[in-house]
Structure 1
Amino acid sequence: MTLFDGITERVIETARLNVNILERAGDEPSTPPDRTVVLIHGNVSSSLFWQELMQDLPTDLRVIAIDLRGFGGTEHAPIDATRGVRDFSDDVHATLEALDIRRAHLVGWSMGGGVVMQYALDHPVLSLTLESPVSPYGVGPTRRDGTRLTDDDAGCGGGSTNPDFVQRLIDHDESDEAPTSPRNVFRSSYVADGYTSENEDVWVASMLTTSTATGNYPGDSARSENWPGFAPGRIGVLNSMAPQYYDVSGIVDLGEKPPVLWVHGTLDPIVSDSSLYEFNNLGKLGIIPEWPGDEVAPPQPMVSQMRDVLAAYSAGGGVVTELALEGVGHTAHLERPAEFRHALLTVIGYVGPSAHPAPPTEAIIIRSAD
């Protein structure tokens, strides 16, 4: 059983594709926009990851979690990576239109953070909550200001994934027998040491919904004359975040700037200034041979890039709150649910009888980006 008590699922037919969503039994479709929260998951996951948060949010909110294409129960349509993450964000918009939701509070985790930033560039939103979001300049070889290191973005995209991990997704491997099994990747990369959950089997089942069909995860790759010898292709999940196709830093120029909450863990190994999933950093660590050095291939400063863009957003009149959680990995909403929930309710301006008490202030670090 992967659905928790009170959580239901259904498929929404849109003009683009059939989209699976999770809802809470009893949520009222007529709930106004300012009390509607839409949750967008990250890469190699699905809406199943949101269920604890869905159960814990006040009952007078309407909460919806959407499966992106190629994940969960949504149709496994191919991804045109040359559009960046627009295939994903356009699918979200089509789904919300079908549900007659014109505006909402959007929450995006990891790759989902990039999706909701792209959504905000194209459509009005009430607020953005970015949990461990992909850099606004994508995942790939870029300097702190977002400028690209090579013309072909060598070292990122579909060729950057461990093929054994992909095979274990194909095999629906639920074991913990190898470091590359989805279960061990969850334990080592999604959460920090010390996190345990009786729902781990559900999180692994969610990861295993990832489609590895052509055009989905991870995507194709191209040969490159630049180190480490490969570059992004044109289809698939990882290529959609390559810097040549993806750049959402334009949010700083939005005329109507929704409030932004940025939540991230200090021990995140995926989205980091020294990411263990970034080839230039792996080269610097000696894990990938023949690294050409910092002048040619410096590690991507993902967190610093996010902070700089949000600082510019704040300077341009936007309200930004940063919640940096000590000792937390990539998945704050699982690892520190009380702090995450309280910060989310604050950014959406929630006031109601079913609000939970705020967690102890010493447990969180909140500051404006300025």
Structure 2
Amino acid sequence: METTKCLIIGSGPAGYTAAIYASRSALYPILFSGLQIGGQLIQTTDVDNFPGYPQGVQGGALMEDLKLQSERFGTRIVNEEIQNINFNERPFKVTTGTGEQFLSETIIIATGATAKWLGLHNEAEYNGRGVSACATCDGFFYRGKEVVVVGGGDTAMEEAIFLANLVKKVYLLVRKDKFKASKIMQERLKNLDNVEVLFNTQLIHILGDGDSINGAKIYDSSTDTEAILRVEGIFIAIGHTPNTKIFEKDILLDDLGYIKTIPGTSKTNISGVFACGDVQDREYRQAITAAGSGCIAAMDATHYLSTRVNKNGIFCVASNIEISTIISKDGINCIYQ
């Protein structure tokens, strides 16, 4: 059974950045890419807001650059999915989808979050070519155009408000007869004269020429009628699902399923286990913020490994992340920060 100092789960900007920093700190990390190698960005076309690419970059090319950079410093990348982790053993025992097992002294979780989609038959076909789940990422491409935002919660409100400053008009489609968004978000929306809210309305079909979209077919349940909106962008804003299923029995999650970390750090409720990227970020969900948190996770893991053995060479681990100093059974102080 192979043993490593640092095992990283996830191959998006957070995972690859954590690998770059961990490998440069001589942790010799093993990164498990999962089923979606490169994370959500692998499905994105133009990325214009990642620093260092003045002309923009394709999502797939950006992720390949990060992968190659992590490998340059010694990261070993395994294209497998993790099925189970035994957090009760030290080192942690990790089992892959093929049944292979690894032992690791630290775990960095960077499994991301998956955007929720409507399930329309051509939704995936136009993803990145008129259909998006991130206005902050893609709104720039629709300046002066008309777009649709689908959703009635805070996420949809945020998308519509952001887009209203860029585009000619926003049609906000709300499936029910009222918002489920917070009152403050609704008040902000009222002040925008280029946002038209259509209640009891669903997006039922995406119209396009094969290369880009040129319309949205909608259904109004209150009148039982269909109509076509001539728009060039459709933003699906019905939320995200953090990829935390295999961790939910051991790692503390918030009410939406995101991993809880100590503010300002990547530390979870289990010492030696760190989380970064969209799996613990319910607010920003940007490639650059994910990359930054990946750096934090690797530095936290490096610091953890360098301080978990006291000067007498006795190994001990704090079980409570809220404390910085504990006393072992032998009365010897051990530090975990």
> Same fold by TM (over 0.5)?
no
Q: Which has the larger radius of gyration?
A: 2
Q: TM-score, normalised by structure 1?
A: 0.31
Q: TM-score, normalised by structure 2?
A: 0.33
